[in-house]
Structure 1
Amino acid sequence: MNEYKWLNYKKKEYSVLISNDRKTYTGKDGHTLEEDKNATVQLEVIIEEDEGKSLPIGIIVGIAVGAWAIVAVIIIIITVAIFIIKKKKASENTLETNFLLDRHAPDVIYQTFDVEKIKKIGKGAFGTVYKMKEIKSQRIVAIKKVDYDSDEEKQRFRKEVSVMRDVYQILQQAASSLTNISASQRQFIHVVEPLGYFLNEDEGKAYLVLEYCENGDFRKYIQKMKDSGTEISDAKAFELIRQITLALNQLHVNGIIHGDIKPENILLTLDFKVKLSDFGLTRKLQEGKEYTTNHGGTTKRMQTIAADIWSFGILLFELLAQKHPFFNSNDIELSPLEIYNRIIDEEPAELPDHYSKNLKNLIKQMLIKDAARRITAGAILEVHEVATSETNN
């Protein structure tokens, strides 16, 4: 059957003839051709033969199934991609590796140690430190991640771990042997406790697990004071001096030189007790000798111990004056030689006037250029204001 397209030009409507007698078209009123012959005009044949022109049902079904298959594949790809992304994030936040248990036998006893990353809390030249939670015990720890590219760097990391472990054990033994102080004082060690380490050989990464100190490092403490415009009182300054000096004295009386005293390496516990960290440059004095050996050379005992006090004095000056004793904000382009000459030849700046004379003099004694004349940790603890400062340490 042929179908014809008609125009009802009065109503401005197109219609299609659908009857075999060609008298009825699909107008809205169902008029016959004779009744409305003056209103309609034949335009063209729009379908000559309808037989064989429609798509077979099998092809239509095949197209539909193919379309659904494509949609299903896309959904699977998206699902797999999401799973891979989540797995990658989980692997970044969870470490599953061998954890050192026996500090006396570093290559013997291991177990799986699973931790969840909480946040990054610090970054330095030798690694990044994260706050993490040990999944099994729920204990919060600090983990220092170090990337190493050679066996030499890996051995340097192992050496740092070994030195830190030895230092902590020496201080533990020394504290337990004291009989003229309280038990609580003997138990407190002013050094961050090393809890273990592990190596990821495949990725060239090393991890040092440490005791976590809730109030961060001294650099953040100083910055917080600057941001708030708060100045430390004399009483608070002497209290902090006592705590840090106790930490240094613990090392020095046991023949240990920290070698890298700076705000980032002085940590504060939940109750603001001081703990020292980062023993990468630490040295041990030779037993029965007045010198220490380091990188093939010898250094006098007084010079090495006094270097810790010098660094301590710089730190305290920064805390109280909120600037460096030998440089200011305009000195960022000084050459290494100019920096050296200024420290060697010039006297440190003066602390603000509102600080007491005794506090100023104490810090000046820490910054005496002659190491032999510089005040010692033991002498600092005997200063009246330090000895009588209110502290639980």
Structure 2
Amino acid sequence: MAAGAEDSQIRRAVIERNLVTPDELAAADARRGGRNGAEAPLGQTLLELGYLTRTQLDRLVAGASDDSGSRSVQQIPGYQLIRKVGAGAMAVVYKAKQISLDRIVAIKVLPKRLSANTEFVDRFYKEGKAAAALSHNNIVQAIDVGEAGGFHYFVMEFVEGATVYDELAAGRLYEEKDALRIVRQIADALQHAHERGIIHRDVKPKNIMLTKERVAKLADMGLARATTDVDAALAEAGRAYGTPYYISPEQIRGEVSIDHRADIYSLGSTFYHMMTGKVPFEGPTPSAVMHKHLREALAPPDHLNTKLTAGCAAMIEMMMAKKREERYQSCRELIEDIDRLMRGEQLQYAQHGLDQSTLADLARGAPAPMAPPPRTTTDTSSTTIMLGVGLAVSIVLNIILIVVLMG
């Protein structure tokens, strides 16, 4: 078969079978055109970019159907496949229609190669159950979970839009008020989960979806865990679960007693990235990054983005305190400070001692000067006691000296 005809066949097949997204196909076309003026074969380019497997490509070239493609979703009763919208190492996500209710949904399918792995399957179903236990406008809603044709699937609300990660990857540096609105919505979603005894454990830009109306949706409950699940906590003890750039220190240490404050740290790391364009800590390896989360001081966000208000910088630093006792103790506290900052008022928890002119600047949206370092205060009662003790010692020494001299 001629190269041009084969490319056309592969292009038509990957579109019809929803094996790649339009963006993936566009990326492949862009790469093909950049090779010394000669176009590389489409199939080979898709393979090199990781959008197709060798088996998929061989079957496409041979004109055969691909078992791991669209057929997996078409076997799920009650749903009609529309197109593939994303893929990762752990799952493929499709846009589909729920026939009974005539509505658009997203279907996450566990690859068949992982179906024999009980750990992955259990985690997949736990994600569905954790999401189903929550009902909040800022959390991607779970619809169904099950198995059909040997494939495990999870049906959820379809969100038309991008993720915070997509926007950061495109070079976006968020305006403070836009970021505050997004973070507030996710904090509200997390508060809802925390009140129901669920911690997310993987808050990061990729897991925050944004609709066209800028409604933020917390997604991917794959690492979520109930705070009452002691068996799971003990089984995971000593192992780090999370994403290195955004993970909390206690998750890195694999502590059994991880609680909702780990999510506050990860949201703070995400907030930091949104406001500075950089992750909080960088390193050549995941372990190097995690070591910095444990040991290295955080570069103040307003040093990297001088437009950042002192109040916003203070919130981020408090969210990312290495000791969880020094963070916001709940997302409700965080929300209160966000609301105060948005109104141009003094923060309740991340104190800065801002004067009235600074508050007025905040209300107008102008950048505030960096807050002075916190002053060290001394307990007056302790000072009084110490002075009293010193005076008593001095008197005793003087009496002893007089006695010695008289003797």
**1:359 matched to which residue of 2?**
312
**1:380 matched to which residue of 2?**
334
**1:320 matched to which residue of 2?**
275
Letter in 2 for 1:205: F
Mean alpha-carbon deviation: is it higher for 146-155 or for 306-315?
Answer: 146-155
Structure 2 distance, partners of 1:337, 1:97, is 41
The answer to whether residue 209 in structure 2 is matched with residue 245 in structure 1 is no
Give CA deviations for 1:348-367 in whole Å, capped at 9, x if unaligned: 22321111000111001111
**1:213 matched to which residue of 2?**
159
**1:97 matched to which residue of 2?**
75
Q: Structure 1 length as normaliser, TM-score?
A: 0.58
Structure 1 distance, partners of 2:69, 2:233, is 41
> Given the superposition, is the C-alpha separation of residues 382 and 91 from structure 1 closer, same or farther in structure 2, using an over 3 Å criterion?
closer
Higher Cα Rg, which structure: 1
Report if aligned partners of 2:81, 2:94 keep a CA contact under 8 Å in 1: no
CA shift at 1:196, angstroms? Answer: 1.4
* Correspondent of 1:339 among 270, 289, 300: 289
Give CA deviations for 1:270-299 in whole Å, capped at 9, x if unaligned: 432222222121111129x9x983416495
Letter in 1 for 2:259: T
**2:300 matched to which residue of 1?**
350
Structure 2 distance, partners of 1:276, 1:149, is 28
Structure 1 distance, partners of 2:127, 2:114, is 20
Structure 2 distance, partners of 1:274, 1:361, is 23
* Correspondent of 1:133 among 92, 97, 107: 97
> Given the superposition, is the C-alpha separation of residues 138 and 350 from structure 1 closer, same or farther in structure 2, using an over 3 Å criterion?
same
* Correspondent of 2:144 among 175, 190, 196: 196
Residues 61-72 of structure 1 aligned to structure 2 (within 5 Å): none
**2:86 matched to which residue of 1?**
122
CA shift at 1:162, angstroms? Answer: 4.4
> Given the superposition, is the C-alpha separation of residues 386 and 282 from structure 1 closer, same or farther in structure 2, using an over 3 Å criterion?
farther
Instruction: Report sequence identity in percent.
Output: 24
> Given the superposition, is the C-alpha separation of residues 380 and 93 from structure 1 closer, same or farther in structure 2, using an over 3 Å criterion?
same
**1:305 matched to which residue of 2?**
260
Structure 2 distance, partners of 1:152, 1:283, is 23
Gaps of 5+ in 2: 1-12, 14-58, 238-253, 344-407
CA shift at 1:316, angstroms? Answer: 1.2
**2:235 matched to which residue of 1?**
295
Letter in 2 for 1:354: K
> Given the superposition, is the C-alpha separation of residues 89 and 280 from structure 1 closer, same or farther in structure 2, using an over 3 Å criterion?
closer
Report if aligned partners of 1:193, 1:211 keep a CA contact under 8 Å in 2: yes
> Given the superposition, is the C-alpha separation of residues 278 and 113 from structure 1 closer, same or farther in structure 2, using an over 3 Å criterion?
same
CA RMSD across the alignment: 3.4
Q: Structure 2 length as normaliser, TM-score?
A: 0.56
Letter in 2 for 1:371: R
CA shift at 1:241, angstroms? Answer: 1.7
Structure 2 distance, partners of 1:222, 1:336, is 20
Structure having the higher helix fraction is 2
Gaps of 5+ in 1: 1-81, 99-111, 173-187
CA shift at 1:168, angstroms? Answer: 3.0
> Given the superposition, is the C-alpha separation of residues 191 and 344 from structure 1 closer, same or farther in structure 2, using an over 3 Å criterion?
same
Report if aligned partners of 1:97, 1:113 keep a CA contact under 8 Å in 2: no
* Correspondent of 2:107 among 137, 143, 157: 143
Structure having the higher strand fraction is 1
Report if aligned partners of 1:292, 1:299 keep a CA contact under 8 Å in 2: no
Residues 248-267 of structure 1 aligned to structure 2 (within 5 Å): 248-267=190-209
CA shift at 1:149, angstroms? Answer: 3.8
Structure 1 distance, partners of 2:298, 2:130, is 36
**1:30 matched to which residue of 2?**
none
> Given the superposition, is the C-alpha separation of residues 258 and 90 from structure 1 closer, same or farther in structure 2, using an over 3 Å criterion?
closer
